Amino acid sequence: MAGPNRFPGRERLTRKRDYEAVFEHGRKRVGREFICFMVRREGQGRRFGFAVSRKVGKAVVRNRVKRYLREIYRANRACLSEDIDLVLVARPLAAELNYHQCAAAIRRLLNDGGLLSG
Say if CB 113 and CB 29 are below 8 A apart.
Answer: yes
Please give the order of strands across the beta sheet that includes 47-51.
Answer: 27-30, 34-40, 84-90, 47-51
What CATH number has the domain spanning 10-112? 3.30.230.10
Query: How does pLDDT run across 100-110, given as a tens digit for each residue?
Result: 999 999 999 98
Res 118 pLDDT > 70 = no
Mean pLDDT, residues 81-87: 88
* Residue 3: band (very low, low, confident or very high) from pLDDT cuts 50, 70, 90: low
Please give the model's pTM, rounded to 2 decimal places: 0.89
